Amino acid sequence: MKKTVLLSLLAAALPFVVGGCASAHYVQTGGRESVVTVGQINIQDYIQAANAATSDLLASGTLDKVATPPAVLAISRIINNTGQQIDTDLLTKKIRVALLNSGKAQTTTTLGLGGTAEDPMAKGLQQENEFANDQKNTRKPDFTLSGKIIETTAKSGNTSQSTYSFQLSLTDAKTGLAVWEGEKEITKQGTRSAVGF
Amino acid sequence: MKTRIVLPLAGVVLLVLCGCRTSVNSIENTQKEGQRQMISDSRVITDGSLAHKVSFVGVNQTLTPGGLLKIQIELLNRKRSLQRFSYQFEWFDASGMQVNNVVSPTVPDQIEGGESKFISSVAPTAACKDFRVKFIEN
């Protein structure tokens, strides 16, 4: 009798336990609860790299040296030298937003790599305005931002290690010289199947 | 018989403890050229364990060439073993309102035993006048 009651109680509790474990929940993006994987660039890695680059760039005072602030920035090529397919906007967009919010730089969306505008409609309107007013009033970029993301892996026994290097260069568009360069390296280590938090 | 088991066990425990405990020696110039502008700080300790292991030595600030506030905090690991923690900077304007920052990460960090370490951050805008840094043990 006792056994049946106990089993019934256990059976009733089981769905709650299983349901509790399987529940999905929100976590803070880039926070401590974020999933950490060794062989992948996680969102917190992009946030950290963008933060390091922005802080370093703002602290350098390079953007304050333009004749008419805020500086105008054009985004050049960010090379992905990792083994994974990534969208480099995850890095550059954060830097752009932070720089715009700082009031130190603005990014052009009508001038892109190979003549491709990020915002074709804005480029069209800009050209239309220039034609109507018969004068060029487009401000040329003061700087271009280029970079590379490199992955270095190492393995010893069951332990895997990945290092992601986020390299960025700010080039003076007039002289072609890199006036600021930054590098942030993020190294993660774990056993093959481990997922950290 | 008991001794045969206890002695090797004690040896293993000692080895493990010695392996985990390494602390940092350092050397620096006595006559400092740079002068740190130390500021007074308020501390709220809710995790006594972390505060006991990794303590705040002091906070100093400066302005970047562009007029942004830069904060540097000196930490000291009071233990002889490596400690892991995360920190996050928050910035506030002259009205005490928090300034949103898209790149304000929770930064995972570590400090070696006996090591003194600096962490720093630059304010996201010139409007930022105050700051707060949160620490949590990993």
- A28, A34, A58: which to substitute to probe chain B, counting the most B Cβ within 10 Å? A58
Determine the pLDDT at residue B13.
57
**Rounded to whole angstroms, how far apart are CA atoms B116 and B80?**
12
**Domain boundaries of chain B, sorted by first residue:** 38-137
DSSP string, A90-125: HHHHHHHHHHHHHTSEEE-SS--GGG--SSHHHHHH
Determine the pLDDT at residue B9.
63
With CB atoms and an 8 Å threshold, state whether B124 touches A54: yes
What CATH architecture is A34-191?
A: 3-Layer(aba) Sandwich (3.40)
Q: Is the pLDDT of residue A108 over 80?
A: yes
Determine the pLDDT at residue A137.
73
Q: Among all residues of chain B, which has the CA nearest to that of A29?
A: B105
Residue B100, min C-alpha distance to chain A (Å): 9
- To the nearest whole number, what is the mean pLDDT of chain A? 89
Neighbours of A191 (CB within 10 A): 12
Closest CA relative to residue B88, chosen from B109, B105, B68: B105
- B47, B68, B103: which to substitute to probe chain A, counting the most A Cβ within 10 Å? B103
Question: What pLDDT, in 10s, does the model give residues A11-31?
Answer: 666 555 555 566 899 998 988
Determine the pLDDT at residue A8.
63
Neighbours of A92 (CB within 10 A): 21
Going by their DSSP bridges, the two strands B54-63 and B38-39 should be labelled as: antiparallel
> Backbone dihedral region of B136: left (phi > 0), alpha (psi from -120 to 50 degrees) or beta?
beta
With CB atoms and an 8 Å threshold, state whether B106 touches A98: no
ipTM: 0.81
Q: Among all residues of chain A, which has the CA nearest to that of B120?
A: A55
- A44, A101, A107, A189: which to substitute to probe chain B, counting the most B Cβ within 10 Å? A101
Residue B118, min C-alpha distance to chain A (Å): 15
For chain A, percent of residues with pLDDT exceeding 70 = 86
**Domain boundaries of chain A, sorted by first residue:** 34-191
- Enumerate the H helices of B21-101 as residue ranges: 48-53
Closest CA relative to residue A184, chosen from A153, A148, A156: A148
What is the CATH code for B38-137? 2.60.40.3230
Residue with tokens 């056993």: A191
pLDDT in tens, chain B (138 residues): 566 666 566 655 555 554 567 889 999 999 999 999 999 999 999 999 999 999 999 999 999 999 999 999 999 999 999 999 999 999 999 999 999 877 778 999 999 999 999 999 999 999 999 999 999 999
Determine the pLDDT at residue B5.
65
Determine the pLDDT at residue A10.
62
Regarding predicted confidence, which is higher, B23 or A149? A149
